[in-house]
Structure 1
Amino acid sequence: MLEQNITAYLANLLKLKTSQINAAIKLIDEGNTIPFIARYRKEATGDMKDEQLRDLNDKLIYVRNLIKRQNEIKNSIEEQGKMTPELSLAIDKVEKLQELEDIYLPYKQKKRTRAMIAKEKGLEPLAQFILKQEDSSEKLEDIALKYLNDEVTSSDEALAGASDIIAETISDSADIRAKLRQHLWQTSSLSITRDKEADSDEAFLMYEDYTEPIKHLPSHRILAINRGESKDILKVKLISDIDKDIAIITKFILKQNSPYKEFLTNAIIDAYKRLIFPALEREIRNQLTETAQTQAIHVFASNLKQLLLQAPLAGYTVMGLDPGYRTGCKMAIVDATGQVLDHGVLYITMSDDAKAKSAQKLLDYIRKYKVNLISIGNGTASYETEEFVANLINEHKLPVHYLITNEAGASVYSASKLAVEELPEYDVTIRGAISIARRIQDPLAELVKIEPKAIGVGQYQHDVNQKELANTLDAVIEAAVNHVGVELNTASAALLKHIAGINATVAKNIIKYRDEHGIFTSRKELLKVSRLGPTAYTQCAGFLRINGATCPLDNTPVHPESYPLAEQILAELGFSLEDLTDKNKLDLLKAKIKLVDIDKLATKLNAGVFTVKDILDALTKPGRDPREDLPAPLTRQNIIKLEDIKVGTIMRGTVRNITDFGVFVDIGIKTAGLIHISELSNKHVKHPLDVVSVGDILNVLVISVDAKRNRIGLSLKQVTKENNNVLA
């Protein structure tokens, strides 16, 4: 039984040891968070990663739901008095919910069907007699006469009722459904026609009498087809070879030299057309959609993770520009800590006079506040704003760079309750410019304030299961925030609530405590925060940093429970806690740590190897941001125009979005270029995510320019060392 072998089943499924599965399940059931288990319980789980633990948790929930459903079904069948040892064994062996429901189908309470009505009329014995297909000298019409009664007055009526019972019996066969389902997945196609009278939509023009085998349908196309169908632009149906499908069923039902071949064949056709195929068509369409949605959510999650973990551009005084035409370009300047220094509106797309005044105004702002980086939102009027800024930089030889920032979600944040609480003194439009400035200083801290699906780094995110999307994206944010860690004395409530063990209420309580009592000087002080008890403290403490804390370990990923071990390790190496704040001694410590035999040290201190290794890593870089290893975002001083771009030109750009079919790259002009999946590598690429990530900086070759349709085709695989002279 699956119920007795959950650990073994999951270990085999996930290719992990049973000891790892047991430990992880125990920790999850005890209420520990995934980030905490992944970071601080490596000894128990054998260093299971965050992704593995989340996968295990999802599959554990599925298996437990399956077991619960198995027990419900067994109880239902036993109550009906129809349970047999063979049926019980078949239910216990099932590992998929769909297979379980197939087995239960004949015993499931249904709405009043034609077969039920026929059974009520006493025609089930006739149906069973026909299905046995025993030789008889009597004609079927004469046999049917024996089953006449007050409700059945003719042989035709009796045979029609028997046919309905046989059709439902065939439809309820788990073996027939499984075989036909497998056959349809391999051989059937989706047939799509476009309603020519519906509003024309360029996105659906390709589906003019379109047919494609379902086994070849990519996820993004399935979601596109579903969208067209929901808009009543497309009509979609599953098509299959009816004769072959019926032949499959016939092999299960019809005996050789059956005396009732014609009658049973008609019942089989009725079962297929009226019951089985419509049900399997719905099931297959649902499964296609579910698979496509899962893929779309996975792509969105992968893109979001990379976006959140982009390297912060710390130490800059940043001017954020939120471009616009009629209402002007909103401007905000923030210092290196994100505090607003000034704000205003520039009119750079209006008259020459307004443009000249805005240029002087912008120049004055840059010089007054020593702005050294400008963040330009990529929305409406972005190109004109970029051109204006680039010209100003070049004309006045300013020591300033700019970059184009994905402003998706800035307007959502600007009008949010959180933005009102954070920036009550600023107009909603200025808040957008502040967000655009801050999100390059620390992408993670700013982007967590925005509803994830509004960030816009996915495909068809509005067409997927919104609850599943939200849960997945929340998990991505949680993983990213806990991976980086949070400075306790500067973090917003929006950031703190994603730390393991901290919910929105506790996050607000931390801010309230900080406002009332001043900055935290130790992690232990967290225990004074309302509703943050010992359990929550255990989960969250290691992910919170305090720069300048009384104990230097409070500014590292070392968990308080391991402080005694960390001090032992330092002592073994000839150092003390105080040395962590002495740059010269810290350099000596780093050099010594490189020579440490971790296995020997762990054995000597009777500690886990994983824990000792993590402590040593933390001691070499207290207060360090793990995103420092990532390449900084690409900044520019000169604008590139579409007419500058010729086929064969090498461009330098930043990956903005990844989909199933390709990669969108910002190459410094209004239109993002597309690297089709076929142009990513000379080797077969299963998915673009296997080659690139959001935020990657690439050299790409321009292979097509379509100015009319505003499209630029790029290639990564055609960039060689010989032609690698980059235009930008």
Structure 2
Amino acid sequence: MDIVSTLAEELGLKPEAVSAAVGLIDEGNTIPFIARYRKEATGGMDDVALRALEERLGYLRNLEQRKRDVILLIKVQGKLTPELEAEINAATQLQRVEDLYKPYRKKRQTRAQKAREAGLEPLANMMIMQISPKGGALAAAEGYVNAEAGFDTAEKALAGAQDIVAETVAEDPENVADLRAFTEATADVSSVAVDAAEKTPYEPYYDYAEPLRKVPNHRVLAMDRGEREGKLRVRVAVDQTAAVARLGARWPRRQGPFAPYLDAAVADGYKRLMAPSLEREERARLTVRAQTEAIKVFAKNLEGLLSARPVRGARVLALDPGYRTGCKVAVMDETGKLLDHGVVYPTKPRHDVAGTKRELARLVKKDQVNTIVIGNGTASRETEEVVSEFIGESAPDLRYTIVNEAGASVYSASELASQEYPDLDVTVRGAMSLGRRLQDPLAELVKIPPQSIGVGQYQHDLDQAELSRALGNVVEDVVNRVGVDVNTASASLLGYVSGITPAVARNIVAYREQNGAFTDRRQLLKVPKLGPKAYLNAAGFLRITGGKNPLDATSVHPESYPVATEVLRRAGVGAGELSRGGVPDIERRVGSVGTLASELGCGTLTLVDIINELKKPGRDPRDDAPEVVFSRAALTMEDLEPGMELRGTVRNVVDFGAFVDVGVHQDGLVHISKMSNRFVKHPSDVARVGDTVTVWVEKVDLQRKKISLSMVQGK
């Protein structure tokens, strides 16, 4: 297989661009670096396209290696034919290779294997070919009786031959492929309760069935979990009579003494060997499909969350609500530096509302707070009511918002948090994390394992290695899209920069602490274990503000400094203009980009990126994200009425809809059917985490604490 040609055809890309991308990946270049600084070579592929190419490249290379391994294993057995080798080499899927290898795979002693060792294979071949021997089937079997092997009668010899036929039928790759397609097209997924009297979250699946080809991913994951917890029995149900008939029709049919034995062997091959194998395979396929899609949704949600707009200039008072232990308070300045911390008790059992308001007033005045942040966990609703009252009574210019506190406790008790704030209690670290999520979501959330951020479905049921890999890629892409200030970034953030490992990130911080702030990108080469390759991949994403070279504060890569300097010269401005906001009219000053690229010996795509950066140096792409929705008066579920129009923030997107925070403690659900007037294939096509949306209240269920919303008025 020509992997480059296959990739180009599958992904709709030019072969030369694919070849270049594969070469760059093999050389150890990172996806963010290739996407940003090697556009000429790849034809402008972005990080999404490159990730897809990298993943498919890995699959195809594994496929080719498996083909070589299988061919060698069959060859060693002396059973490799030119036709079989050609079939293996022509396979385009691992499943097909395994199907072809199945008859030759070493297996534990089977009934068929025992029969073969007893010399019954010729009798089985007679049965398959339906030869009509003199005297009938039993007479023919008399010649194969083998008392020492346990086949001491003609009937037992015939049964042994049937076992060989059953295994041959069940392992034939064409039979397997055909019955697999039949199963996928006609089977149902069904589930029943282990104990129908027991109340569990899986009651919708106590007596459930749906066509295999139609079952949605979130139901697959729910049934898998119910089965794993011992609450459900899940099956793939097939019409076995139709399946056996279909399988039998694939074999030559003649009337003769062996016909009933062949029919029975085919039925046995399907029911005993093929059906259980196909059921396991289909269950595994469903689970892989559901998990793969769930990971994609999780990744898309995480990207939206990490790409949320920072709230700059916010002096934050963060509240981490609680009942018995009180509400933890942390006050931070615009840079996230801790100014004050303490505890207030606005909720039961102490319910010191007056004392809470006095303390809030004191801290707001003392630390010039302009924003209050409240975690959305336990006691959030009650705390929000007190904050809303306080603002209405004493601080009308204050604003507040609710933030998702998923993962805050994980971070606050982590070794990283202990290293960052060794003198602070875990509760204070948690409150600080909530406040900093508003000030700079990306910088704070990278400290938390992506699986703990809470923007997906069934994350604890998914393949954790694959989930971690996919989410790590998302974090890496977002971090490098935004860029990182090398003099202020934490080791956690630096560890996601292109080419920088966690160990090198710690070395950067240590070097910074020992030698002071970096003043030149080239100083990075002095950091232990940060070699030339890591520098090439990382330099363009690491920014130095106020350094010796103004270009160090931009996304222009050091390898392009001569080009950028010449562009500035032709524009008639010095590099100092970059620190004063850039050169907005630089395109007018330098004329045709195509002509300039030719004169400078630079690729057009690279030159366009350089010019865009010189127009507005260090621009943060997150500034294009929706602004945070702030509240000034608290709502309750009791305040909501059908038809009410609200503005809210998308908190999570799942297979069946989107959860939207509309200012009450409970997020409302916009079902996929209520997201648009047009057909919506997946909710992520309409909404992403962090989006600000207008919704209308459909239904409020106070008893079950559920809110139904619509993104289409009157729908």
**Band the TM-score falls in, shorter-chain normalisation:** over 0.9
Residues 1-44 of structure 1: CA deviation (Å, up to 9, x unaligned): x1xx1111111111111101100110011111111111111111
Q: How many Å apart are 1:581 and its aligned residue? A: 2.9
Say if 1:481 and 1:498, in contact at 8 Å, map to a contact too: yes
Q: How many Å apart are 1:707 and its aligned residue? A: 0.8
- Note closer, same or farther for the CA distance 1:588–1:362 as it changes in structure 2 (3 Å cut): closer
Q: Distance in 1 between matches of 2:670 and 2:303?
A: 21
Mean Cα displacement is larger for which, 255-264 or 604-613? 255-264
Q: Which residue identity does 1:676 align to in structure 2? A: H
What is the aligned partner in structure 2 of residue 128 from structure 1?
A: 125
3-state SS of paired residue (1:402) = strand
What is the aligned partner in structure 2 of residue 700 from structure 1?
A: 695
Q: Distance in 2 between matches of 1:610 and 1:199?
A: 63
Q: Distance in 1 between matches of 2:532 and 2:77?
A: 51
The yes-or-no answer on 1:592 pairing with 2:592 is no
3-state SS of paired residue (1:215) = coil
Say if 2:318 and 2:431, in contact at 8 Å, map to a contact too: yes
Q: How many Å apart are 1:631 and its aligned residue? A: 1.9
Q: Distance in 2 between matches of 1:352 and 1:50?
A: 53
63, 66, 87: which one aligns with 2:60 = 63
Q: Distance in 2 between matches of 1:44 and 1:90?
A: 35
What is the aligned partner in structure 1 of residue 168 from structure 2?
A: 169
What is the aligned partner in structure 1 of residue 426 from structure 2?
A: 428
Q: Distance in 2 between matches of 1:144 and 1:600?
A: 88
Residues 69-123 of structure 1: CA deviation (Å, up to 9, x unaligned): 1111111111111111110100000011111101001111011000010011110
What is the aligned partner in structure 2 of residue 509 from structure 1?
A: 507
What is the aligned partner in structure 2 of residue 312 from structure 1?
A: 310
Q: Distance in 1 between matches of 2:406 and 2:286?
A: 29
What is the aligned partner in structure 1 of residue 51 from structure 2?
A: 54
Q: Distance in 2 between matches of 1:216 and 1:269?
A: 28
The yes-or-no answer on 1:531 pairing with 2:526 is no
Q: Which residue identity does 2:610 align to in structure 1? A: I
Q: How many Å apart are 1:580 and its aligned residue? A: 2.1
Q: Distance in 1 between matches of 2:351 and 2:56?
A: 64
**Number of residues of Structure 1 aligned to a counterpart in Structure 2:** 713
What is the aligned partner in structure 1 of residue 436 from structure 2?
A: 438
- Note closer, same or farther for the CA distance 1:475–1:163 as it changes in structure 2 (3 Å cut): same
3-state SS of paired residue (2:56) = helix
Q: Distance in 2 between matches of 1:56 and 1:343?
A: 49
TM-score in terms of structure 2 length: 0.98
Residues 528-563 of structure 1: CA deviation (Å, up to 9, x unaligned): 111111111111000011111111110000000000
**What does residue range 301-380 of structure 1 map to in structure 2 within 5 Å?**
301-350=299-348, 354-380=352-378
637, 642, 648: which one aligns with 1:642 = 637
Q: What's the RMSD between the two structures over aligned residues?
A: 1.4
What is the aligned partner in structure 2 of residue 605 from structure 1?
A: 600
3-state SS of paired residue (1:72) = helix
What is the aligned partner in structure 1 of residue 657 from structure 2?
A: 662
Q: How many Å apart are 1:587 and its aligned residue? A: 4.8
Q: Distance in 2 between matches of 1:248 and 1:20?
A: 46
Say if 1:376 and 1:382, in contact at 8 Å, map to a contact too: yes
Say if 1:650 and 1:719, in contact at 8 Å, map to a contact too: no
Say if 1:598 and 1:609, in contact at 8 Å, map to a contact too: yes
Q: How many Å apart are 1:620 and its aligned residue? A: 1.0
3-state SS of paired residue (2:423) = coil
**What does residue range 29-40 of structure 1 map to in structure 2 within 5 Å?**
29-40=26-37
5+ long unaligned stretches in structure 1: 721-728
State the percentage of identical aligned residues.
48
Q: How many Å apart are 1:134 and its aligned residue? A: 2.8
Residues 507-539 of structure 1: CA deviation (Å, up to 9, x unaligned): 111111111111111111111111111111111
Q: Distance in 2 between matches of 1:509 and 1:208?
A: 55
Say if 1:679 and 1:718, in contact at 8 Å, map to a contact too: no
3-state SS of paired residue (2:213) = helix
Q: Distance in 2 between matches of 1:461 and 1:257?
A: 57
The yes-or-no answer on 1:414 pairing with 2:409 is no
**What does residue range 387-398 of structure 1 map to in structure 2 within 5 Å?**
387-398=385-396
Q: Distance in 2 between matches of 1:696 and 1:128?
A: 67
Say if 1:254 and 1:264, in contact at 8 Å, map to a contact too: no
Q: Distance in 2 between matches of 1:353 and 1:162?
A: 82
Q: How many Å apart are 1:150 and its aligned residue? A: 4.1
Q: Distance in 1 between matches of 2:25 and 2:583?
A: 39
**What does residue range 617-632 of structure 1 map to in structure 2 within 5 Å?**
617-632=612-627
Say if 1:254 and 1:261, in contact at 8 Å, map to a contact too: no
3-state SS of paired residue (2:457) = coil
Q: Which residue identity does 1:89 align to in structure 2? A: A
What is the aligned partner in structure 1 of residue 23 from structure 2?
A: 26
285, 300, 325: which one aligns with 1:287 = 285
Say if 2:480 and 2:497, in contact at 8 Å, map to a contact too: yes
TM-score in terms of structure 1 length: 0.96
Q: Which residue identity does 1:592 align to in structure 2? A: R
77, 81, 103: which one aligns with 1:80 = 77
5+ long unaligned stretches in structure 2: none
3-state SS of paired residue (1:253) = coil
Say if 2:583 and 2:616, in contact at 8 Å, map to a contact too: no
3-state SS of paired residue (2:250) = helix
38, 41, 46: which one aligns with 2:38 = 41
205, 208, 218: which one aligns with 1:220 = 218
- Note closer, same or farther for the CA distance 1:35–1:189 as it changes in structure 2 (3 Å cut): same
Q: Which residue identity does 2:29 align to in structure 1? A: N
Say if 2:137 and 2:257, in contact at 8 Å, map to a contact too: no
**What does residue range 76-115 of structure 1 map to in structure 2 within 5 Å?**
76-115=73-112
The yes-or-no answer on 1:679 pairing with 2:674 is yes
3-state SS of paired residue (1:502) = coil
Q: Which residue identity does 1:13 align to in structure 2? A: E
Say if 1:575 and 1:589, in contact at 8 Å, map to a contact too: no
Q: Distance in 2 between matches of 1:674 and 1:598?
A: 49
What is the aligned partner in structure 2 of residue 724 from structure 1?
A: none
Say if 2:4 and 2:19, in contact at 8 Å, map to a contact too: yes
Q: Which residue identity does 2:99 align to in structure 1? A: D
Q: How many Å apart are 1:606 and its aligned residue? A: 2.2
Q: Which residue identity does 2:455 align to in structure 1? A: V
What is the aligned partner in structure 2 of residue 17 from structure 1?
A: 14
3-state SS of paired residue (1:252) = coil
Q: How many Å apart are 1:718 and its aligned residue? A: 2.2
Say if 1:318 and 1:334, in contact at 8 Å, map to a contact too: yes
What is the aligned partner in structure 2 of residue 482 from structure 1?
A: 480
Q: Which residue identity does 2:596 align to in structure 1? A: L
What is the aligned partner in structure 2 of residue 726 from structure 1?
A: none
What is the aligned partner in structure 2 of residue 495 from structure 1?
A: 493
Q: Which residue identity does 1:513 align to in structure 2? A: Y
3-state SS of paired residue (2:202) = helix
Say if 2:315 and 2:331, in contact at 8 Å, map to a contact too: yes
Say if 1:198 and 1:233, in contact at 8 Å, map to a contact too: no
Q: Distance in 1 between matches of 2:469 and 2:694?
A: 35
- Note closer, same or farther for the CA distance 1:547–1:464 as it changes in structure 2 (3 Å cut): same
What is the aligned partner in structure 1 of residue 177 from structure 2?
A: 178
Say if 1:486 and 1:496, in contact at 8 Å, map to a contact too: yes
The yes-or-no answer on 1:616 pairing with 2:615 is no
3-state SS of paired residue (2:185) = helix
What is the aligned partner in structure 2 of residue 565 from structure 1?
A: 563
Residues 116-162 of structure 1: CA deviation (Å, up to 9, x unaligned): 10011110111011111234443101111122234332110110110
Say if 1:377 and 1:405, in contact at 8 Å, map to a contact too: yes
Say if 2:244 and 2:270, in contact at 8 Å, map to a contact too: yes
3-state SS of paired residue (2:156) = helix
What is the aligned partner in structure 2 of residue 200 from structure 1?
A: 199
3-state SS of paired residue (2:632) = coil
- Note closer, same or farther for the CA distance 1:348–1:590 as it changes in structure 2 (3 Å cut): farther
Q: Distance in 2 between matches of 1:110 and 1:266?
A: 24
